Structure 1
Amino acid sequence: MKKHIPNFITLLNLFCGCIAVVFAVMNRLELAAIFVFLGILFDFFDGLAARLLKVQSEMGVQLDSLADMVTSGVVPGIVMFQLLNMAQKGGWNLDFFGMHTEVTLLPLFGFLITLASAYRLANFNVDENQVSSFVGLPTPANTLMILSLPLILMYQNNETLNDLILNQWFLLGLTVLSAYLLNAPIALFALKFKSWGFKENGFKYLFLIGSLVLLVTLKFLAIPIIILLYVITSMVKERMAY
């Protein structure tokens, strides 16, 4: 019975992802973000449960990636689509089966994140080197970065940030950067704890404490900063290891 517990938690991640897709399509991005955060939380605990119960399995690995593809692949692509749609003014007026709609090509570039996420997840499943560390930005971290944008727009109340986020060139650049980081040959440390001692996990604890301080002081703006610091500190840590 216990072998099914991690898979059930993974399915909760997928369920949250499905709900997030619905809200993202409806352009209720703050509600989509809530369910994505819940899904990522379940994604963390399914692996933890599998390790604690000693029931890791190949099926669990595949199921985890399928769930992540929705929560951390499809959803951020739709969110970027919506943001690009807000940033882009004007388009082609077309009629489909009697329904009038305005179509632009620019927002479709947002789905580059979805395509890059799919490639990253498939590569992760066949790469035997990504056990104690990651190669490329994990899809949940990338998703948090993308989902933070509408939250900054809604709750930071900063006109400069709003103008930046709703700049189509900024969004296109971030989309390309996101797709690159997902599959970049950069070793990033994994926040997985085999033990709880500070000696073995001091670097991870310091990163988590620093992230908490940033979240308290900068709120949603802290999220993309934390992701950037995650990449930079991983690269520094990798260099120090040599």
Structure 2
Amino acid sequence: MKHIPNSITLINVFAGCCASICLFADADIWAIGFIMLAGMADFGDGLAARLLGVSSPVGKELDSLADMISFGFVPGLIAYKLLDQASGQTGDPINWIAIPGFAITIFSAVRLARFNLDERQTQDFIGLNTPTCTAFFAGLLALGTRNIFGISGMLDQVWVLYLLIGLFSWLMNTDFPMFSFKFKQLSWKGNEIRYIFMVTTIVFFILLKEAAFSALVIVYILLAIAHNMFAKSNKQA
């Protein structure tokens, strides 16, 4: 029983590897599916550990290493691919215009290292977590495929992608508090922000399908800002 959480973590590793292969093969929708599987495994290993009452230093390290693949390397690869497509350069083994996409991978590594040492992030997050950052870039991939609202034209602009890469690299390592999706109890009070986001998630996926990821991440960031402002005003009152 004690090995169940680690086994689920290894599904995260496997899904991240498969997502990478799909990105190389231009099977973007399959890549998004494997990213979703990695996200479910990332949530499931922690849930299983809590339900079974087991934990180990190996499990913690394994979880971080799995996240580095699925939510560090994979989003960097997506950013590289988007920049590669936007630049229009082909034929070279490395597109140097697209290389800055791996800033996401570099700052994800910094984020994960800080998270492992930060004792404040037991209930909520400090800075944007790596799975949410990955969801945003996976959503950009889907938006380019589906061309919803004509957004794919914006993704053809290298400077727009550079701006997004810089912004999300910063968001992952900022000290700004962001709510997690962990429920201490199921009542409305104390979980208002989580229930609002859950309802928004359902609506967005019905309307936008896999392209909902990027929009939901923006909503999540805005809700986190509103939540912090409301919490500060309550403290001052």
Residue 162 (structure 1) aligned to one of 152, 166, 191: 152
- For each residue in 1:119-166, what CA deviation from the matched residue of structure 2 results, as whole angstroms up to 9, or x when unmatched? 0001000000111110111100000100111211222454x3111112
Paired residue total: 232
- Aligned partner of 2:161: which letter? L
Corresponding residue for residue 185 of structure 1 = 175
DSSP 3-state at the match of 1:153: helix
Corresponding residue for residue 8 of structure 2 = 9
Deviation at 1:25, TM superposition (A): 2.4
Deviation at 1:221, TM superposition (A): 4.0
User: Would you say the 8 A contact 1:27–1:82 is kept in 2?
Assistant: no
Q: Map of 1:121-160 to 2, 5 A cutoff?
A: 121-156=112-147, 158=149, 160=150
DSSP 3-state at the match of 1:185: coil
User: Would you say the 8 A contact 1:187–1:234 is kept in 2?
Assistant: yes
Q: Structure 2: any 5+ residue segments left out of the alignment?
A: 233-237
Q: 2:193 and 2:50 mapped to 1: Cα distance?
A: 21
Corresponding residue for residue 205 of structure 2 = 215
- For each residue in 1:18-68, what CA deviation from the matched residue of structure 2 results, as whole angstroms up to 9, or x when unmatched? 111122223322222111111111111111111111113332221111001
Residue 185 (structure 2) aligned to one of 169, 184, 195: 195
- Aligned partner of 1:108: which letter? I
Give percent identity, aligned residues only: 36
User: Would you say the 8 A contact 2:193–2:223 is kept in 1?
Assistant: no
Corresponding residue for residue 75 of structure 1 = 74
DSSP 3-state at the match of 1:240: helix
Instruction: Give the aligned CA root-mean-square deviation in angstroms.
Output: 1.7
DSSP 3-state at the match of 1:3: coil
- Aligned partner of 2:207: which letter? T
Q: Which moved more, 1:75-84 or 1:56-65?
A: 56-65
Distance 1:200 1:240, change over 3 A: closer
Corresponding residue for residue 48 of structure 1 = 47
Q: 1:188 and 1:172 mapped to 2: Cα distance?
A: 24
Corresponding residue for residue 96 of structure 1 = none
Deviation at 1:108, TM superposition (A): 0.3
User: Would you say the 8 A contact 1:29–1:79 is kept in 2?
Assistant: no
Corresponding residue for residue 219 of structure 2 = 229
Deviation at 1:179, TM superposition (A): 0.5
TM-score (norm 1): 0.90
User: Would you say the 8 A contact 2:80–2:98 is kept in 1?
Assistant: yes
Q: 1:199 and 1:31 mapped to 2: Cα distance?
A: 38
- Aligned partner of 2:44: which letter? F
Q: Structure 1: any 5+ residue segments left out of the alignment?
A: 94-100
